[in-house]
Structure 1
Amino acid sequence: MSEKRSIFEDVSDQGTARPVAQPGLIDKGRGGARRGVRLWLMLLFGLVVVMIAVGGLTRLTDSGLSITEWRPVTGALPPMSAADWQAEFDRYKQIDEFRVQNQWMELADFKSIYWWEWGHRQLGRVIGLVWAIGFVGFFVARKIPAGWTGRLFLVGALGGLQGAIGWWMVSSGVTQGEGMTDVASYRLAVHLGLAFVILGVIGWYVFLLGREERELMQARRAKEGRLFGLSTGLLHFAFLQILIGALVAGIDAGRNYPEWPLMDGQFIPMDPFEIKPMWRNFFENPGLVQFIHRITGYLLFVFAIVVWLRGRRSAHSATRFAFNAVFASLSLQVVVGIVTVLYGAPWQIAILHQLAAVLVWTLILRARFLSAYPIATSVRG
């Protein structure tokens, strides 16, 4: 017969286990290999930066049209014999760039520009391979964090699109009888613009994966909405300036009017709309394109000052530092841009100008991220 129990008896004495708190439930089931995925994306980010630099050097050395065919698979191998080299050179001789501009070239000269373009395309293949190995590896191992499969696939899809746009750009210069000696500048702008979009997407994902989900959820409550909006506007403004810079590079407009702040002794260059129809001047008139690039740069710098002053008022020290870094990098970029103009855009300074644009873009993205997900600072600092 069971014994009677007192209503005042401590139930803990009967061996009943108390529930144990389980911290980190927000991240449980979401984690995956966050650190591994982040490192992989950081590698891709670095490769894209190198790709932008190599692409810029390919443009500055007038090497982009040296390979006149798009062979995504077989093109991975360079010419392996004297006959192969001669065949490549003969194909190059058929396009307008050689007929109009480079008839002086011998096979040795052709090889020097061929290697730049081949290296550019090869690096694109390497980036695609690194993405594919990483994505498939994490997917098969089921280590992709929850909600990230689509995001990581997007990176690869954008990379594939970039390859197609690259050939779309090159094909505009592979002409016969049209007098084209360069690729279309607006296609170059699309190609470079997408490279910066890919860089921005990867960078944003790297920032997100650098903090746990629960931390991001808490930080989002302290989002500085106005500062986030201003930094978003600055990011878009900088992107516009990058596109205009690509138009400048596409027609070698940076080598015209090597003086500052005036252009040939006047504020607006002579005959800014001499090409007919008028709209073509915004893409093909070196004076007008460089003038637009200068004016947009001035306006971007003024707007950056406004954003910087607002960023200095942030309650979070990391956010304030991020906006200080943006303003410092943009100030440096203005100086480099002026020096590029004064020296007629030599490749050494021109490529520095392009890499500085990558730095500015990344730092703006970082400041924008910290506006959306600020890092809390204790009262004691």
Structure 2
Amino acid sequence: MLVSQSQQQYDRQIAGWLILCAVVVFGMILLGGVTRLTNSGLSMVEWKPLMGVIPPLSEESWQATFDKYKAYPEYQKINRGMSLESFKSIFMYEYLHRMLGRLIGVLFFIPMLYFMLRRRLPQGLQAKLWLLFFLGGCQGLLGWYMVKSGLVSNPHVSQYRLTAHMGLAVLIYAYMLWLVFDLLLGKAPSDGLRRPLSRVSLVLVALVYGMILSGALVAGTKAGYAYSTWPLMGTSFFPPGLYAGEPAWLDAFEDITTIQFNHRIYAYGLSLALVAFALMAWRKVSAARLRLGIVLLLLALCLQVTLGITTLLFHVPVALAAAHQGGAVLLLSCTLFVAHCLRRQPAVALSA
């Protein structure tokens, strides 16, 4: 009994550490969005994982860093004539983004080693933590791979690499959150996935994640700037030029009109699916925690829809667009919480 109580205490400590890591990853996702929206992502033209911790401190080092930036197409084709002071501004966004990534690595790795060496990890968690650490390393490499795609003749990062970079960040965050739920609420029983309502909730988690990837594609192609009207796109619901390219399917990934249209339709369908699911789940379960999750899910959905429409109408201002990105992750968090609660519900409670 004493051992069990000690492990419960350790589980709460580990959960608290993972919550802190998840909060910082959430901040990293927001800062990444701001970095992109302020066109700051290509300001650091070198990748020095260890030596790049210290920023330029003297006027001479700032000028040398600026001169390196001038040698690349973004300055030559877009920002020619930019002052050193303006360069400092965009540089610091990217610098802070990279530094926060390093901080997350330290914040995760050192406590993980401590819990491992003190043998405080519950059975099965160690491998999952190592997987998270590996994914974090992949995220750093993928970030530089994305930046490199813009240090060429066309100074814009690949929308495919940006979507992958964003998708992996959200995946890391979601996995952390799921482990927190396991530690604080208890793991789902082995038969939890076989329950119909539970399976539907996991499908919705995947759909919300897909919506985030769709949003990343919009961001990577700047498709959000194409039409600043709602509910119509310009003067019609179906704008001219949809899937007009050759081959037509490629427009879903490269044509800004088609990408924005698809994102809107995806949002409509997902919103209806989430509302229908929430109503169905509310009727079938009475657990207070689960009902709280359903309410939070609906509130997050309303917030996200409002932010999406407002961002469009105001022509993608930085603050609103970053909030919209954060709202998507918040909606995913609520959907994950509901899915986890449903998997833990006694089978008799879901048999209606």
**TM-score, reference length from structure 2:** 0.92
Query: Is contact 1:282-1:289 (8 Å) kept?
Result: yes
Task: Find the counterpart in structure 1 of residue 345 from structure 2.
Answer: 374
1:364 aligns with 2:335: yes
CA contact (8 A) 1:340 1:349 kept: yes
Counterpart of 1:324 in structure 2 is: 295
| Structure 2 counterpart SS, 1:104 | coil
Q: Which runs of 5+ in 2 are unaligned?
A: none
Which letter maps to 1:147?
G
- How far has the Cα of 1:161 moved from its partner? 0.8
Give the CA deviation at 1:52. 0.5
Q: State the distance in 1 between where 2:183 and 2:62 align.
A: 47
Q: Are the equivalent residues in 1 in contact too, given 2:192–2:198 (CA < 8 A)?
A: no
2:214 counterpart residue number: 244
Structure 1 counterpart of 2:313, which letter?
L
2:123 corresponding residue in structure 1: 146
SS of 2:86's equivalent in the other structure is helix
Amino acid at match of 1:268: F
Instruction: Give 2:174's aligned residue.
Output: 200
- CA change 1:33–1:243 in 2 (3 A) is same
The reply to whether residue 346 of structure 1 matches residue 317 of structure 2 is: yes
Secondary structure of 1:234's aligned partner: helix
Contact 2:193–2:199 under 8 Å retained in 1: no
**What value does the CA root-mean-square deviation take over the aligned residues?**
2.4
CA distance in structure 1 between the partners assigned to 2:195 and 2:291 by the alignment? 15
Aligned equivalent of 2:271? 301
- Structure 1 distance, partners of 2:328, 2:176, is 16
Q: Distance in 2 between matches of 1:77 and 1:24?
A: 48
Equivalent in the alignment of 1:289: 259
Query: Could you tell me which residue of structure 2 aligns to residue 257 of structure 1?
Result: 227
The AA in structure 2 aligned to 1:363 is C
1:152-171, aligned counterparts within 5 Å? Answer: 152-171=129-148
1:337 deviates by 0.7
Matched residue type, 1:242: I
Instruction: State the SS of the aligned residue for 1:364.
Output: helix
Shift of 1:317: 2.7
Asked if structure 1 preserves the Cα contact closer than 8 Å seen for 2:296 and 2:334, the reply is: yes
Match of 2:158 among 178, 181, 184: 184
Matched, 1:355 2:330: no
Distance in 2 of aligned mates of 1:154 and 1:349 = 33
Determine if contact 1:316/1:375 at 8 Å carries over to the other structure.
no
The farther-off stretch of 278-287 and 150-159 is: 278-287
- 2:89 and 2:179 map into 1 onto residues whose CA distance is 38
8 Å contact 1:173–1:182 — kept in the other structure? yes
Structure 1 portions without partners, runs of 5+: 1-22
Larger Rg: 1
Structure having the larger proportion of residues in helix: 2
Compute the displacement of 1:87 (Å): 2.0
Give the share of equivalent positions with the same residue, in percent. Answer: 37
Q: Using the alignment, how far apart are the partners of 2:250 and 2:151 within structure 1?
A: 20
Provide the C-alpha distance between the structure 2 equivalents of 1:55 and 1:224, rounded to a whole number of angstroms: 38
Letter in 2 for 1:169: M
Shift of 1:102: 0.8
Residue of structure 2 in register with 1:11 after alignment: none
TM (norm. structure 1) is 0.86
